[in-house]
Amino acid sequence: MSNLVVLPIIIPLLAGIIIAFFHKKLPIARALSKIFIVINLIVAAYVTYLVFTNGMIVLETGSWQAPYGIVFVADPLSVILVLTTNILTTACLFIAPKLVSDVREKYYFYTFTFLLVSGVSGAFLTGDLFNLFVFFEVLLMASYGLIVLGGGKVQLRESLKYLLINLFSSIIFVTTVAFLYAVVGTVNMAHIAERVQEVEQTGVLTTIGIVLFFVFATKAALFPLYYWMPKSYTVPNPVVSALFGALLTKVGIYSIMRIYTLIFVTDELTSKFFIIIAGLSMLFGVIGALSTNDIKLLMSYNVIPSIGFILLGIALANENGLGGATYYLMHDMIIKTALFLIIGVIVYAAGTADLRKLGGLIHYYPGLGWSLFIATVVLAGIPPLSGFIGKLLLLRGSVENGEIIIIIVALLSSLLILYSVMKIFIQGFWGEKDASFKPVSIRGMLAPIIGLLAVSVFLGIGAEFVYPYINEVAVYLLDPEIYIQAVLKE
Amino acid sequence: MEIIICILAGILFATGVYNILQKQLLRIAIGTGLISHAAHLFILTMGKLKRGQPPIIEEGITNYTDPLPHALILTSIVISFGVTSVVLVLAYRTINENKTDNMDQLRGNEYE
Amino acid sequence: MIFAALAPLFIALFIPLLSKIKAKIHTGFFVLLVPLFIFLYFIQFVGLDFTPVLQTYQWIPSLHINFDFYLDGLSLLFVLLISGIGTLVVLYSIFYLNYKERLHEFYVYLLMFMSAMLGIVLSDNVFVLYTFWELTSFSSFLLIGYWHFKDRSRYGALKSMLITVLGGLSLLGAFVIMYVLTGTASIQGMINQADIILNSSYLPLILVLVLLGAFTKSAQFPFHIWLPDAMEAPTPVSAYLHSATMVKAGLYLVARFFPVFSSYEWFFITVTTFGIITLCWGSFMAVRQTDLKAILAFSTISQLGMIMAMLGFGTDVAIFAAVFHILNHATFKGSLFMVAGIIDVQTGTRDIRQLGKLFTLMPITATLAFFGTFSMAGVPLPFLNGFYSKELFFESAIALQAQSTGIASVLVTIVPYLAVAGSIFTFVYSMYLFFGLFGRNKNKQFNLRQKIKEAPIGMLISPAILVLGVIIIGLVPNLFNQSFLQHAATSIRSTATMESVSFWHGFSTPFIMSLVVVIVGAILFITLSKWQKVYDVFPGKWSFNRVYDRSLETLDTSSAKWTNFYMNGSVRTYMSLILGTLFTISFVFMYITDGFSIDFSDLAPVTILEVVVVLSIIVAAVGTIFTNNNVAAILILGITGYGVTILFVLYRAPDLALTQLVIETITVTLFLLCFYHFPNLKKRTESVTTKSVNLIISVGFGLLMTMIGISAYSGNAFAKISDYFIETSLPIGDGKNIVNVILVDMRGIDTLFEITVLGLAGLTVFSLIKLKNDKEAK
């Protein structure tokens, strides 16, 4: 039974390899990619179901008992994220044949995408810190493949910067793993957690924790480490941007969430520090979004504040905070994909990403316009849509901890996020009908987007069906013993 | 000796970073090479140095050096190699396309 | 009740289908039934024996978000206004908007708004209330932007959205704080636990946040600026949202939370001050406007300020008067907006400078306008409802008692004067409006451009019904008193009962104040052209609109400036910032937690050979910085790599040494392949500052890593898990080379994905090169 856990990692791995053989035969590659992702989605859903009904599943690979071998741990948090990953990838792969050029599809777009999913799922599921590094490398390498795909001058240039900074942070990551190994003598996360508790987190551990935080924060694009992110998310194909925006930074923030609930304690000093970082991420991200007329760049900047919101939840380290962070994480993965795809379709349809050149698109693409409107409202956290539930929980958590200033910052940044994205609707879609404009067909592009929006709306209006599970995640995260016991079986 | 190696690794990090902060792409690439050496040295040191025989089981010997860091470094070396090769080819293509190897001219703030 | 409130929302979903039928019947006729039925449903509740009703429907109970619909007197007043005026507005819109407009869109928004507004006034649950609150903001946004091909519409829509959503968000903040304090999401529950809120240290913040929500929505000074621009919406919308209902949501909110805050002195001070200022400023500015709807917009602002002020007074009379005036204002202002729409449609202009002498051309409209404007002005005539509430306003203003010294007492002294001043200007703009339209035009070249006819009967029905309301309430002011208004007033303040309202009660102070208003107002109106220049000086060019425009502009430009400053595309800048932050903060943490430790007890011995190797690696590493030749630099990098290989040999890691040797060789080859043909490294020409910054960052970072490394090494407290590997390698793993067993068995997953990484790298390199060749081939 527990072997199921590895399937969400292995299926995409195999899918990627198999599709690589058909890379010149696009119809087959496309069909295969859809079949595989749907299979993977079903498996992920099934694993999620199992975890929430029967409890965590721990797989000791090669039957080497923990903490010696590598373990995969399907706990409530990781399965929810794996499931979300698959949902949004499904949407991306269904829109890809329309939005990705044939040349790029032929150059292993599907293989890279599947391996990205494999790496991301691995990162969510692994219970071993060094193995986490390996999965990070898998997903980063896949992302390097995706970002340079068929690129010209600009794309190559930005990819290079992206690559350099990620390479650097990976090296620090692996060094930090070594430091931890020196202190606690193990690389299994549950085991590390147990031993860190025993020594009551000495000073050097706190410092290592902070360095590790910086490593993940760089990947998560938090203030003040996000410089590499906005432009490099702008240059590739929109589907790739969507995958990046939804997955890459989220793996980073997931890792922070994991190590700071399981291994390191969020003491008062760390909590204050995180809250400051969270607040500044909210503000600087949205300031960045306001600074540009390039709608793709605008969207990329909007990735930053949401990571800030999630970090806030981690910093609060109470039930509402962690529940809110989880809810927000899930919501944000879905809605960011939808928004990046919408922006991609707009650029495809209008032929420009310059907001000043857009206008009156609603006369030609009403469906697209209203999708953008709804997505914007979701993003800004307006009730009763999904962004609101997460934000509400985070606000409640903040008040409970007496963190009032961050509430004001969070609300203000919500307003500015709304403004920055609503600008696209007002300037791009409203306005006079331009008779000289020659619309291109966007048939089939809206369906995946609407699918994602439906999920998003459900997460909001149907919160009663979802929130109890998220609350379970929060309660579970607050007690690292459950994880440690499940893995080490003492 | 461990402390000396820590200092060595620190110096490698410092020189690596100094190279990365330069303008020319080659120097940056060299910098990444240096810091990955530094990382590997750190990993090795963290498992203690010279505390036994090489980790190959031989009868009569019970004392071996810590094998786990070796395994981790091996994985890391291979991965670094993969990444470095991508960096190099990408750098090559970037220089070719943009006709410059100066990062200052690769900023991209000019209107495109 | 929930069905009544949510019905419009659901019906809205079917409206787009209706338009597919392409029947000759105006969509409005179908829509008309919705508010009508709601009105009829709720009118049943009106009566002397009315008691509040609570109905609960679960939605997200685990988050305390439920449809707890609570209908008390205050809610009932608003519900009837919303559905009643709603019916009239829909009826009016049928004649106002013709078939060519995007009708289904219009009615979808309108119905959405109607549901939202009903939801606000019925929800007892603060989170549901907030949900509907934002829904009104967005439906208002869409309605203002209905004619989105006009620049002004887009501008107005954005402005209203930004300001009202700002208020909404701050309201959310207040709700969350109150929820956490009291543990309940129910407003009634919060009222019962008002002590907790009043004794909380967050009280001032809560008050500010709640009032920010209310003031933005109800267009109180200085947030009023969105309302005039909202007039870009079709006139039925202005009459409905921006006069009768949505802008009163703020008043509703203040009234609803009145029992919580009323004993807090700052509530009195803030609400009264802002109300009075809004009253004066709105009426003062209304006289300056030339657009019909702008005059009405400022007049609405001013009237809202007056009601807000009365809620601030908080006395029995004031509360009753506030409720009374909410009703009265809806009747006369609604009819006036409709009249403005009629004139716009019939004459083609809303500019008062180009209008006049319409009395004979449009007698019915003129009559309706007469009742509306004169009631608004508070002219003491026994058939105008505006006079009654205005006089109660004066009565409550002079009856204020100073509870204490300080700001409150100053306020109490000046309020009556400001009340009179505001009312004088109210009188002036009312007359300005009426005589501007129907009197003679002073402009000599004035000429009506087209043949003007009286409006079609359909358009006149709705304003006529409202004017009828003005007259009926004027003639029988106590008609709704006991059965209706009383319930509303007492649900705000339990003692706010009013025996009866009468037209004449002697030469009391309020009546004298009314007379002063009429006399001074008349003088000012007649001499209007003489003193109008005052507006050039005050407010002159300075206005809050300008503040809004400028701050939005500044936001855009300065964010661009700021972002471009550090997001300059240079890897060097990025890396310096990232590393600078990393080591600064890490050092701080290390210092605070006393993280550095060094322990010399458990170290391997130092040999000369090792030292030599280490020194040569250092020399080579430093050498890479100073070499200016491609090949040389690459080879020196190779030396460090081979040096590390030797260290691996010395430290008994044969597998590592072999791998490193191979990989290093391939890497150096690759380096040479890629860079051989490129221009040589240049001498660095950076400034000293750049150099020293680079130096600080690299040394700082290296130092940090060394220090953590040493502390980590010295801090080790546990046995390594490796012992297990050594023990089991042969018996279970069946291999003598422990490292190999770990790699392929114990940590086989690492290796599997390490190979995946390598494969991916190969694929990436392949596509990078292949794609380029393909391009060149083309």
pLDDT digit string, tens, across residues C282-336: 999 998 888 889 999 999 999 999 999 999 998 888 999 999 999 999 999 999 9
**Alpha-carbon span A136 to C45, nearest angstrom:** 65
Enclosing domain of residue A159 = 2-488
pLDDT digit string, tens, across residues B73-92: 999 999 999 999 999 988 88
- Please answer yes or no on whether C597 and A61 come within 8 Å at the CB atom: no
| Half-sphere exposure (Cβ direction) of C181: Cα atoms closer than 13 Å | 23
Q: Specify the DSSP class assigned to residue C602.
A: S
Nearest Cα to Cα of residue C288 among C352, C216, C215: C352
Mean pLDDT score across all residues of chain C: 87
Query: Nearest by CB to C742, which of B30, B54, B71?
Result: B71
Q: What is the pTM of this model?
A: 0.93
Residue C24's pLDDT is 67
Q: Specify the DSSP class assigned to residue A73.
A: E
Whether residue C470 has pLDDT greater than 80: yes
If one counts every other C-beta atom within 10 angstroms of the C-beta of residue C41, the result is 15
User: What are the residue boundaries of the structural domains of chain C, listed by start?
Assistant: 1-258, 262-532, 570-717, 719-778
Residue C5's pLDDT is 84
Identify all chain C residues contacting B66, using CB atoms and an 8 Å cutoff: 720, 722
Q: Where are the beta strands (DSSP E) in C461-550?
A: none
Identify all chain C residues contacting A426, using CB atoms and an 8 Å cutoff: 145, 148, 154, 157-158
Residue A124's pLDDT is 96
**Alpha-carbon span C367 to C16, nearest angstrom:** 38
Closest residue of C to B26, CA-based? C675
Identify all chain A residues contacting C720, using CB atoms and an 8 Å cutoff: 181, 185-186
Whether residue C686 has pLDDT greater than 90: no
- Please answer yes or no on whether C567 and A227 come within 8 Å at the CB atom: yes
Closest residue of C to A414, CA-based? C169
Confidence class of residue C561 from pLDDT cuts 50, 70 and 90?
confident
Minimal CA separation from C556 to chain B, in Å? 18
Whether residue C425 has pLDDT greater than 50: yes
Bridge partner list, C125:
C186
Residue C775's pLDDT is 61
Instruction: Average the pLDDT over C420-432 and give the result.
Output: 92
Q: Which three-class secondary structure state does DSSP give residue C119?
A: helix
Whether residue C668 has pLDDT greater than 70: yes
**Alpha-carbon span C175 to C187, nearest angstrom:** 10
Nearest Cα to Cα of residue C690 among C570, C609, C775, C770: C570
**Alpha-carbon span C55 to C71, nearest angstrom:** 9
The residues near C728 (Cβ < 8 Å, ≥ 6 apart) are A68
Share of chain C above pLDDT 90, in %: 46
Confidence class of residue C411 from pLDDT cuts 50, 70 and 90?
confident
Whether residue C428 has pLDDT greater than 80: yes
If one counts every other C-beta atom within 10 angstroms of the C-beta of residue C555, the result is 16
Identify all chain C residues contacting A203, using CB atoms and an 8 Å cutoff: 590, 593-597, 711
Query: Nearest by CB to C712, which of A186, A208, A430?
Result: A208
φ, ψ (nearest 5 deg) of residue C687: -75, 170
The residues near C423 (Cβ < 8 Å, ≥ 6 apart) are C283, C378, C390, C394, C513, C517, C521
Whether residue B109 has pLDDT greater than 60: no
**Alpha-carbon span A71 to A131, nearest angstrom:** 9
Give the type of residue at C396: S
Query: Is some CB atom of chain A closer than 8 A to the CB atom of C739?
Result: no
Closest residue of C to B66, CA-based? C722
**Alpha-carbon span B27 to C571, nearest angstrom:** 13
Residue C450's pLDDT is 62
Query: Is some CB atom of chain A closer than 8 A to the CB atom of B42?
Result: yes
Compute CA C207 distance to the chain's CA centroid, rounded to the nearest angstrom. 17
Q: Which residue has the higher pLDDT, C675 or C554?
A: C554
User: What is the 3-class SS of B56-69, one letter each residue?
Assistant: ECCCCCCCECCHHH
Closest residue of B to A147, CA-based? B90
Bridge partner list, A72:
A59, A126
**Alpha-carbon span C296 to B84, nearest angstrom:** 70
Complete DSSP assignment for C194-253: HHHHHHSTTHHHHHHHHHHHHHHHTT-TTGGGHHHHHTTS-HHHHHIIIIISGGGHHHHH
Identify all chain B residues contacting A230, using CB atoms and an 8 Å cutoff: none
Instruction: Average the pLDDT over C213-232 and give the result.
Output: 92
Whether residue C476 has pLDDT greater than 50: yes
**Alpha-carbon span C606 to C611, nearest angstrom:** 7
Minimal CA separation from B52 to chain A, in Å? 17
Query: CA separation (Å) from C229 to C285, C297, C354, C429?
Result: 14, 9, 21, 19
**Alpha-carbon span B46 to B23, nearest angstrom:** 34
CB A487 within 8 A of CB A71: yes
The residues near B36 (Cβ < 8 Å, ≥ 6 apart) are A171, B76, B80, B84
Residue C542's pLDDT is 63
Closest residue of B to C721, CA-based? B68
- Please answer yes or no on whether B79 and C754 come within 8 Å at the CB atom: yes
Q: Which residue has the higher pLDDT, C681 or A385?
A: A385
Query: Is some CB atom of chain A closer than 8 A to the CB atom of B28?
Result: yes
Q: Which residue has the higher pLDDT, C569 or A338?
A: A338
Identify all chain C residues contacting B3, using CB atoms and an 8 Å cutoff: 598, 600, 603, 710, 713
- Please answer yes or no on whether C667 and B84 come within 8 Å at the CB atom: yes
φ, ψ (nearest 5 deg) of residue C260: -75, -45
Identify all chain C residues contacting B20, using CB atoms and an 8 Å cutoff: 571, 575
Q: Which three-class secondary structure state does DSSP give residue C447?
A: coil
Compute CA A178 distance to the chain's CA centroid, rounded to the nearest angstrom. 27
Q: For residue C99, with 0-12 CB atoms within 10 Å meaning exposed, 13-18 middle and 19 or more buried, which class applies?
A: exposed
Give the type of residue at C178: M
Residue B111's pLDDT is 39
- Please answer yes or no on whether B11 and C702 come within 8 Å at the CB atom: yes
CB B8 within 8 A of CB C617: yes
All partners of chain B with 3 or more CB pairs under 8 angstroms: A, C
Residue C443's pLDDT is 63
Instruction: Average the pLDDT over C135-162 and give the result.
Output: 92
User: What is the 3-class SS of C42-76, one letter each residue?
Assistant: HHCCCCCCCCCEEEEEEEEHHHCEEEEEEECHHHH
Confidence class of residue C690 from pLDDT cuts 50, 70 and 90?
confident
Query: Is some CB atom of chain B closer than 8 A to the CB atom of A165?
Result: no
**Alpha-carbon span A108 to A117, nearest angstrom:** 14
Pick out chain A residues at pLDDT < 50: none
Q: Which three-class secondary structure state does DSSP give residue C123?
A: strand
φ, ψ (nearest 5 deg) of residue A228: -70, -20
Residue B110's pLDDT is 43
What's the number of domains chain A is made of? 1
Identify all chain C residues contacting A411, using CB atoms and an 8 Å cutoff: 169-170, 172-173
Instruction: Average the pLDDT over C340-359 and give the result.
Output: 85
- Please answer yes or no on whether C742 and B68 come within 8 Å at the CB atom: yes
Identify all chain A residues contacting C134, using CB atoms and an 8 Å cutoff: 382-383
**Alpha-carbon span A262 to A256, nearest angstrom:** 10
Residue C601's pLDDT is 81
Residue C541's pLDDT is 61
**Alpha-carbon span C370 to C356, nearest angstrom:** 14
Query: CA separation (Å) from A103 to A26, A107, A110, A130, A142?
Result: 10, 6, 12, 36, 18
Nearest Cα to Cα of residue C232 among C301, C293, C303, C185: C293
Instruction: Average the pLDDT over C435-458 and give the result.
Output: 73
The residues near A207 (Cβ < 8 Å, ≥ 6 apart) are C586, C589, C590, C593, C595, C708, C711
Residue B112's pLDDT is 39
- Please answer yes or no on whether A138 and C562 come within 8 Å at the CB atom: no
Confidence class of residue C773 from pLDDT cuts 50, 70 and 90?
low
Whether residue C452 has pLDDT greater than 80: no
- Please answer yes or no on whether B12 and C569 come within 8 Å at the CB atom: no
**Alpha-carbon span C579 to C584, nearest angstrom:** 8
Alpha-helical regions (H) of C226-362: 226-230, 235-239, 249-256, 258-261, 265-286, 292-313, 316-347
Q: What CATH number does domain B2-53+66-100 carry, 1.10.760, 2.40.160, 1.10.540, 1.10.287?
A: 1.10.287
Minimal CA separation from A106 to chain C, in Å? 10
Closest residue of C to B94, CA-based? C768
Strands C65-71 and A57-60: unpaired
Complete DSSP assignment for B49-109: SSSSB-SB--TT---B--HHHHHHHHHHHHHHHHHHHHHHHHHHHHHHHHT--BGGGG---
All partners of chain C with 3 or more CB pairs under 8 angstroms: A, B
User: What are the residue boundaries of the structural domains of chain B, listed by start?
Assistant: 2-53+66-100
Minimal CA separation from C209 to chain A, in Å? 10
The residues near C447 (Cβ < 8 Å, ≥ 6 apart) are none
Instruction: Average the pLDDT over C446-456 and give the result.
Output: 71
Chain A from 168 to 187: CB within 8 A of any B CB: 168, 170-172, 174-175, 177-179, 181-182, 187
Nearest Cα to Cα of residue C728 among B75, A186, B67, A488: B67
- Please answer yes or no on whether B86 and C622 come within 8 Å at the CB atom: no
Tokens for C199? Answer: 């004794």
If one counts every other C-beta atom within 10 angstroms of the C-beta of residue C592, the result is 12
CB A396 within 8 A of CB C181: no
- Please answer yes or no on whether A171 and B36 come within 8 Å at the CB atom: yes
CB C110 within 8 A of CB C28: no
Residue C568's pLDDT is 78
What is the ipTM for the molecules in this complex? 0.94
Query: CA separation (Å) from C660 to B5, C636, C641, C644, C649?
Result: 18, 16, 8, 8, 10
Q: Which residue has the higher pLDDT, C683 or B36?
A: B36
Lowest mean pLDDT among A173-187, B75-89, C478-492, C750-764: C478-492
Q: Which residue has the higher pLDDT, C678 or C613?
A: C613
pLDDT digit string, tens, across residues A315-366: 999 999 999 999 999 999 999 999 999 999 999 998 888 888 888 888 899 9
